[in-house]
Every structure is written in structure tokens, then in C-alpha cells.
Structure 1
Amino acid sequence: MLKFLSLLGNGKYEPCYYYLNEPANRASECHYIQHSLLEILEKQGVVPDEVTVLMTDVAYNENWITNKKDSNAPGLRELLTSYSRRSGAKVKPVLIPAGTNETEIWQLFIQILDCIDEGDQVILDITHSFRYIPMLTLIALNYARVVKGCKIRDIYYGAYNNSPDKHEPIFVLTPFVTLFDWIIGVERYLATGDAIMLQKLTREEVSKLNKEISVNISEMDNADRLVLFRDPKALKELSQVMLEFSEIVRTCRGPRIQMAALKVKESIDFVLESAAHERIKPLSPLMELLKQRFDSLYTDDELKMAVEAAQWCLDNRMYQQGFTILQEGLITIACKNEGKDHFDKNKRGEITSRAYALLSSEKNQSSESKHNQILKLIASMANTRNDINHAGWREQASSYTRFEETLREFIGQAAELIDNNEEKVSSISSGKAFAEKNMLLIFSHELTEAQCKDAKTNLDVGTFIEMPTKLASLWSNVPPELDNLEEYLIPIKGWLLTNAKLGDYALVQGDFGATLIIVEYCKAHGIIPVYSTTKRQAVETKVDGKVITTRQFEHVQFRLY
């Protein structure tokens, strides 16, 4: 139910023309803001189901029954009765105490709360609220939002200033409620990693923008008064990537954490650029905290990334995820240090087995390589991780109070290795260095020797990753009559996301439309798309007295898209 809630005082209210947004959008001359505001809203097609006016005994006699300013003019009751007949809205006067002591203040709080039913939407007018009543009303409504699931639709204030032309503005204070919600939402995300509230707020902001902006965001006028941000796409993207990051961490999707953190970082930057800065200024410090958190969370250093992701889990009390992500991250680093396939379950098992063996040895830690220290840390974490993963169903299970401190200790040990993690352990069999990049081949031909050499020498590529035969066939045979290329390319996008890490290269050449889509996808996920530039040479050969000209293409360099 849509309810209009207002308070009536006992002042001598001057007649004026209240207007909303601009003088042209005004009500007829009236002493009472309640009637003027309802008239303006009615013109906009907004008619509440119920109009509730709270008043003291004095206000009831002086401005509800009669008009204190003009005894010949109607009181508010008569005006709202006429409005009720016309609109069908129910009018409900509520007598409240004067609030001269704490008992009466609590009584007023309960009465405001009693005006709200489950699931109501509330339009609040605070023009004639007195002393503490605006604050008390907002607290009561926020309380009702939690216990009754109501929603504050709008808050208005009639700013009477005795203007010479008798035109007085009505201010929309709703953005301050929205601002408060954003503050709570950001704080909750930083404290718990829960993005649900921010996603809900984003949907509401996007809905406002889409409703108010018909063509061009740059031409916003009145809509600016209602929204905190200018670009609905940026907001929607931010909430989506924040939720995605939270769920990726919550479900321990290790290979995707790095890219997810990058997407949040970039999205926060874009939203801050598109913010209506004056209106969002109080929120900026919190958004900066969010930005700083993801600036530190995203890094190209995989050891640091594992530590930061585990720290995020610790900060958000996700201890089980923290142990899992840190240990599996360390196993991944160890695999790469040794040139092993870090997605191969058996290879990961080999790393774990060696880690256990190394931990049980008598070798002095201080004389060991950083790689071996990583292995020992992997083994050290196993007992605690098994304890929490098996839900304590084991002998000598730890108390729940131990996990926070234990995770903090392991994170500290891993962090000590970050600055000294300069030793790149190479695999004798593969010769691959830890810092080398991959080049993923979305390409219909075999690489030439010149292309391989160029990629290794100038792009630090250590490994070339070809698409599986089925995907290579998809890429080479894009149907010319196909309309929906996005759907057609989903398998290739999935392959990219699974096999690429941030900063890897993708050689993308093929069908123009498909190439365009994959290039944009790479850029959005931290993969560097390139193409091969060539020069053409004409080669003439004589066969049986005839000159045959053939054209050969020679690789020149890789160029960024």
C-alpha cells in the first residue's frame, strides 16, 4: 500500500504556490504543504492509498479543524476531505503527544510505527516537523524497513521563505536516504564481502535512471536531483562484478579470483568517474576505501594474490575459504615454479606429496630455497584445512576459536615470502620460467618459425597454447549466415578464461566479426590481444619457359589491437 505520511504543526501558515523541481510544476495557492504536495503528485499520476497526518491536540484545533492564519479559509481537514472524494485516498488523522518527556517520545515512536503496515511504500513530508521529530520519524521508518519490509519511496520538505512572488520550492530529500543505504551497503561489503545489499541498491538506482533519462544522460536536469550516479550501465556492471567476486571467493574458484578482482577494480574507477560528485561527496571516502581494498587485492604477483585473497577471507570471517584458497594458491605457484601443469590433479598431488616429505625432513628451514619454504607451508596447512573441511569429525579437532588466529599465522608466513620470491625455479624438462607468459592461439594456421621467435624474444612468451581441435574448427568455419556470433563463440570464451592468466597474450586472427568480439572479450579479462603484421613478397620462378609469380607473406611483428 502507498501511504502519504505528514506532520501538522500549529503555526500560522501563509498561503503560497509550492512547486516541485521548477515553478511551472506548481500547485494552486494554499496554506498547507500537505494539500499542495498531494496536488502536485496527483498531476504526476501518484495517488496514495492512505494519507496519514500526525498532529497534537493544539494542531488539531488550530490547523486541522480551522485555519489559524485565516479564519475564513478552510482547515486542512476540509481540503483533504475534498481530495479524498476526488482521488479515493483514505484520510487518517492521528493525535500524538507533545513529546515533552522521554515517555511521550517513545509513545510517538510507537505511533509512527503503527502507521506503517507490512510491505508499505511511504511518501514522507517533514515540512512541519519540530525539533527532534524529523530524526525520530526517520528512525521509526528505518526500523519499519527492517521489521515490516516497508520502503521509503520519497521524502519532501516545503522550503517556505516568504518569497515576494509567493512561489516556494519543495525539496526532494530522498537521495539522503539512498546515500545512507549506500554507506551501509559499502560498509557491509567491506566487513563481510556480502554484495547483496549493493546489488539491490544498484537495481533501484538503475531503475530511477532508466525512468528519468529517455535519450541522453548529458541532458539530465531534474533526474539529477533523484540519483547519485549518471551512468546506469556502470552501476549495473559494478554490482555484478562485486557480487561475482564475492561468490567466486565464497565458492573457492581459485583460477578466477585474479581476473574477478581486476574487473571490480576497473569498475570502481569507472563508477567514480561517472558519479554526480556533489551529491556523492559524503560517500566518496567509503568508495575510496573500496577502491584501495581492490587496488591491493589485485596484483600480477601470484604469491601476493594468494595472500591477499586469503586476507580478504580472513577479514570477512570466511576461514574455511581462506585456508583452501591460500593452500591451493601455493600449490599452483609450486607447480608453475617446477613447470608442471597446475590444472593437472596428479601433478598437484605430486607437489603435495613432496611437500609432506620435505616437512618431515630434518633440513634447516633457513638454508632452504624460497620454493622449498612454499612447499613446507603447503604441508603445514594440511592438518588445519582437513580439520575444518571435515567439520571437526576427527580426533583432537580444534576449537572454533582457533581457526581465525591460525589462518592469520599462515597468511603472515606466506606474506614473508613475497618480497623474497625472486627465485624463479625452472623445470629442467621444460625450461619454462615462472615469469614467462603464454600466447593463446586463436588462429587458423600453424605459427611460423619467425612468429615463434618474435613472440619469445619480444613478448617473453614461454608457451604457445593451441585450441582443441573442436574449437579450432569452430573458429575456422564461422557460418557466414549466422546472426548470433556471441552465442557461437561461448566455447572459445570459456577456453580463454580457463587457460589464460592476467597479462597473457592471445593471437587473434580470423573472421572479422568473430575477431572483434574475441578481442573485446580479451581486453575485458586482462588478456592482451595481438595480431601478426606481414609484408608481401613476389617470387618469380621459371618453369618450362614460363614465368610463374607466387606471393609469399613474411611476418614482421606482433601488433596490439
Structure 2
Amino acid sequence: MARKLFISVLGTGLYEKSVYTQGDIRSSETRFIQQATLELIGCKETWTEEDRICILLTDKAKELNWEVSSRKHPHTKEEIAYEGLNTLLQRMDLRPQITPVSICDGKNEDEMWKIFQTTFEQIQDGDELYFDLTHSFRYLPMLILVLGNYAKFLKNIRIAHISYGNYEARNEEGSPIVDLLPLTVLQDWTFAAANFLHNGRSEQLTQLTQQVFKPILRDTRGKDQQAQALRKFSETLNNITNNLQMCRGLNITEDKDICRLKESIDQLSEDIIAPLVPVVKRIELSFTKFIPDSNILNGLHAAQWCYDNHMYQQSITILQETIVTYICNKNKLSVTDKDARALVNKAFYIVYEKLQQNDEKWELPNYGKGNEAKDKVRELIKDPDIEKLSRSFSTASGVRNDFNHAGFRPNPMTADKLAHKIEESINKVHNIIFGDYVHQPL
């Protein structure tokens, strides 16, 4: 089980007593938001000796609010009874270790980074973090958001709680504790969406959507329509990206999942996470060129999509196999017959090498009976599109071989040249088959 770590900064103010509330939960009357927050998150009931409470404090905060029994009121100058936070925490009889950590005043950039580093050093790999942002520096919320993402990457932590005690908004019910966790959740969604749009990876998005819809479907026994739509979106997006990453040509050209993705997005409202909807719409835009039925265009769009997402080997593989599929369809050959596809490959080779009149040099695959293979090739090499596409097809073969042999061949291409050849081939093939092509990256 992950270690729980509570982190809060102790301020220097003379704090008045208040009951803090969140929903139906009410804290004890206390001067310190740290006590109220620890009650809110169930520290006494569920935390263990392995967990930890970390209080960050400057020298001034330690002097005024950590280990004191009285303080002078700033207005009346009267000495009043005033128990410091350390005394209150000890009285709570909590099982986790309570650790005061000295920090500097944070008056400049150098001190800000020292606070960042000091806080980061308190975190262990895999920790579950609970933050209280009520007191101290104005930039603390921003620093904590940055720190959280930094620690997610380097220490594989999970942020379970971020809150702010709003004493100024108190009423007869008490002072509200504001839940700030949705901010980091939205940030996670933004990073995951950016990762998808830049690299074509949907794993983070799938994980985040599951965190949202699984508990809702569990509590509603699968009846919540918004959660169902979010699950459908997650599963469909995962199917689409898996097909692209694994070069599943039939699924790509027939891509009914594109239609399902749009349907699931149209069903999403703002009820689950309001800012999520524009993020999802942005993801939908990346598939706008795909056609939700069987169409060879989807293969070319898939090659371009993979190229845009730096999936270069998938891009050239899908492009070349789409060319073969296009010729198969045009000449009434089965697109799933490996011998028929091999015949098309051979026809391209014959035309590119100008062997049309030297059929004794043709080395044909097994296809049909008798002279059926040779007769079919004679038919194929008369197809004007084979002539037009032969150079691009040969380039694609060279690029694929360079990839497949990891560059262990005479005169391997540089990485930049490979990428350039792929982009050039996509444009040429699209222009030959469908006319003028201008790609506009999202």
C-alpha cells in the first residue's frame, strides 16, 4: 500500500478559531486549518505509522505558531492563550509521524526553488499526496501544481487531495474547505490530450477516463448514461489508436470506430467534468478526415496521421499496403489474399525495373493455376496507376527495408531522410490517386 503524505505550510498569522466544513463534514473548532484538514481526510481513522505528516515552516512561523502557549494580540496587545499547532497535533493522537521541515521565506526566485527542492525531498517513490494550500506564499498553489507533475514523472506519486481553507468566506455554518483537486485532474487531462495529439498515445487518456466512469458505473449499476458515453469514448479511442499503432489495415480502411467515436463524443455533456468536453472535441478534430465507412482514403489518412504523430514505421507500412489494397480493389483481386497482394507487389517491381518485355526475368508468386499468375501480371502492368505509383512504391519498399533491418544495410538513410521520404511519398501517392493534396496539420 502506498505511503500517505500530508504536506502543509504553516503561516505566521494569529488565527481565530473556526469550524471548517466540506459538504456534511464538520471539523472540531480550531485555529489551524491543518487540524481541520487532517480530520477531513480521516487521518486518525485510516492512516498508519508508515504514513507521514509534513509541516513546512519558516523560522518566523515556528516562533509564532508551532510551539507556543500564548501570543500577543496584534490589536489589543493583550497576551492571550494560544496553543501552537504542534501541541494540537500531538493531542490528536495520530499514528503517522509528524515532521516539521524548515524552509526559507521564499522572497526571491532562488528561495522559491529551495522551497521546491525541500518539499520534493520529503516525497518518496509511489507516495499518495495530500496538500493543504491555505497559508504562506501567493505562488504556493502554482508551485504545488508544478511539484505534483514533477513528482508524478520522477517518483510515480498520486495526488489524492488538494484543498484550501477559506476562513474569509465563513458563515454561521463555519468556514468552507474548498476542494482544489479538480485543477490537477484537469491538468492531467490536458497533458494526456497533448500526449495523444502530439504522439498518438491514448494510454493516459484511457487511464483517466476509467478513473472517472468506473466508480460512477459501479454506484449506478451501469445505468449512468454519461459514464457509459465516456466509457464508449475511451474504448473506441483505444481501439482506433491500437489499430494505427499495430497497422491493422482492414480495420483502418473500414473504420467504423470513427463513427462510434463521434457518437460517444456527441453524447458527452458537461455533467462529468465540464472542462473535459473541449479537450475531447479537440481529440475528435484529429480524426475529421477519416470516413466512417469502408474507403481507401482512410488508409492514406492513417498514413498521414501516423506521420504527424511520429509513428514513422507505421506510416510507411500503412501507406505501401494501402497502395496494394487500392490496386487490388481496382483490379478485382482479394485484398486479403497474400498471393494476390504478392502479385501486385511483383507488378510494381516489373514496371519500376522496366521488365515488361522480359517476362523470363519475372519471378512470380504462386497464384491460381497454369499461366494465371503471368496473365494477371500482364493485365496489372497495363494499369496506368501502377506506372504512376511505381516510383513511390519503390521508395516505400526501400524505406520499409531500412526500418526492418534497423539500418544494417549498405548506405542506410539518416533518420531525417527517412522522415522526409515518408512525407514526400504520402503527398505523391495522395496526389496520384485523389488529385491535389494539401495537408494541414492540426
TM-score range, shorter chain: 0.7 to 0.9
Taking structure 1 as reference, are residues 162 and 352 closer, same or farther at Cα in structure 2, changes over 3 Å only?
closer
CA contact (8 A) 2:206 2:234 kept: yes
Query: Within 2, Cα distance between the matches of 1:181 and 1:265?
Result: 26
Counterpart for residue 325 of structure 1? 318
* 1:77 CA displacement: 1.3
Question: Within 5 Å, which residues of 2 pair with 1:351-366?
Answer: 351-361=344-354
The DSSP-based 3-state class of the residue aligned with 2:26 is coil
* 1:186 CA displacement: 0.9
Taking structure 1 as reference, are residues 32 and 20 closer, same or farther at Cα in structure 2, changes over 3 Å only?
same
Taking structure 1 as reference, are residues 272 and 19 closer, same or farther at Cα in structure 2, changes over 3 Å only?
farther
Counterpart for residue 20 of structure 1? 22
Query: Within 1, Cα distance between the matches of 2:259 and 2:10?
Result: 48
Query: Within 1, Cα distance between the matches of 2:129 and 2:266?
Result: 30
* 1:387 CA displacement: 2.8
* Letter aligned with residue 425 of structure 2: F
- RMSD (Å) for aligned C-alpha atoms: 2.9
Counterpart for residue 5 of structure 1? 7
CA contact (8 A) 2:217 2:228 kept: no
* 1:71 CA displacement: 2.7
Query: Within 1, Cα distance between the matches of 2:163 and 2:291?
Result: 43
Aligned-residue identity in percent: 28
Instruction: Give the TM-score normalised by the residue count of structure 1.
Output: 0.65
Aligned: 1:149 with 2:188: no
* 1:114 CA displacement: 1.5
Deviations 1:228-257 (A, max 9, x none): xx7444333333333333232222221122
Larger Rg: 1
Q: Which of residues 366, 390, 402 in structure 1 aligns to 2:405?
A: 390
Taking structure 1 as reference, are residues 119 and 378 closer, same or farther at Cα in structure 2, changes over 3 Å only?
same
Query: Within 1, Cα distance between the matches of 2:405 and 2:252?
Result: 24
Taking structure 1 as reference, are residues 170 and 262 closer, same or farther at Cα in structure 2, changes over 3 Å only?
farther
CA contact (8 A) 1:304 1:418 kept: no
* Letter aligned with residue 77 of structure 1: N
Question: Within 5 Å, which residues of 2 pair with 1:2-401?
Answer: 2-21=4-23, 24-42=24-42, 45-47=45-47, 49-66=51-68, 68=71, 71-83=80-92, 85=93, 87-161=94-168, 163-165=170-172, 167-209=174-216, 213-214=219-220, 231-259=226-254, 261-264=255-258, 266-267=260-261, 269-271=263-265, 273-276=267-270, 279-281=273-275, 283-300=276-293, 302-361=295-354, 369-370=384-385, 372-374=387-389, 377-401=392-416
**Which protein has greater RCO, CA pairs closer than 8 Å, 6+ apart?**
2
Counterpart for residue 363 of structure 2? none
* 1:141 CA displacement: 2.8
The DSSP-based 3-state class of the residue aligned with 2:42 is helix
* Structure 2: segments with no counterpart, 5+ residues: 74-78, 357-381, 437-442
CA contact (8 A) 1:124 1:155 kept: yes
CA contact (8 A) 1:331 1:378 kept: no
* 1:415 CA displacement: 1.6
CA contact (8 A) 2:145 2:184 kept: no
* 1:376 CA displacement: 5.6
CA contact (8 A) 2:128 2:157 kept: yes
Counterpart for residue 224 of structure 1? none
CA contact (8 A) 2:329 2:335 kept: yes
Query: Within 2, Cα distance between the matches of 1:186 and 1:268?
Result: 16
* 1:410 CA displacement: 0.9
CA contact (8 A) 2:258 2:287 kept: yes
Taking structure 1 as reference, are residues 342 and 236 closer, same or farther at Cα in structure 2, changes over 3 Å only?
same
Taking structure 1 as reference, are residues 384 and 346 closer, same or farther at Cα in structure 2, changes over 3 Å only?
same
Taking structure 1 as reference, are residues 161 and 265 closer, same or farther at Cα in structure 2, changes over 3 Å only?
farther
Taking structure 1 as reference, are residues 207 and 381 closer, same or farther at Cα in structure 2, changes over 3 Å only?
closer
The DSSP-based 3-state class of the residue aligned with 2:126 is coil
CA contact (8 A) 1:2 1:123 kept: yes
* 1:207 CA displacement: 4.5
Question: Within 5 Å, which residues of 2 pair with 1:356-505?
Answer: 356-361=349-354, 369-370=384-385, 372-374=387-389, 377-420=392-435
The DSSP-based 3-state class of the residue aligned with 1:401 is helix
* Letter aligned with residue 270 of structure 1: S
* 1:214 CA displacement: 4.7
Question: Which shifted more, 350-359 or 32-41?
Answer: 350-359
* 1:216 CA displacement: 8.3
Aligned residues: 400
* 1:405 CA displacement: 0.7
Query: Within 2, Cα distance between the matches of 1:79 and 1:368?
Result: 87
CA contact (8 A) 1:310 1:322 kept: yes
CA contact (8 A) 1:351 1:375 kept: no
Deviations 1:323-372 (A, max 9, x none): 11111111111111111111111111221222223334499xxx984465
Instruction: Give the TM-score normalised by the residue count of structure 2.
Output: 0.81
Query: Within 1, Cα distance between the matches of 2:221 and 2:269?
Result: 18
Question: Which shifted more, 63-72 or 323-332?
Answer: 63-72
Counterpart for residue 359 of structure 2? none
Deviations 1:279-328 (A, max 9, x none): 433x4443222101112134546332121111112112222221111111
Taking structure 1 as reference, are residues 46 and 273 closer, same or farther at Cα in structure 2, changes over 3 Å only?
farther
Deviations 1:371-421 (A, max 9, x none): 653456434532333233233333333222211111111110122134359
Deviations 1:173-207 (A, max 9, x none): 11111110111111111111122222222332235
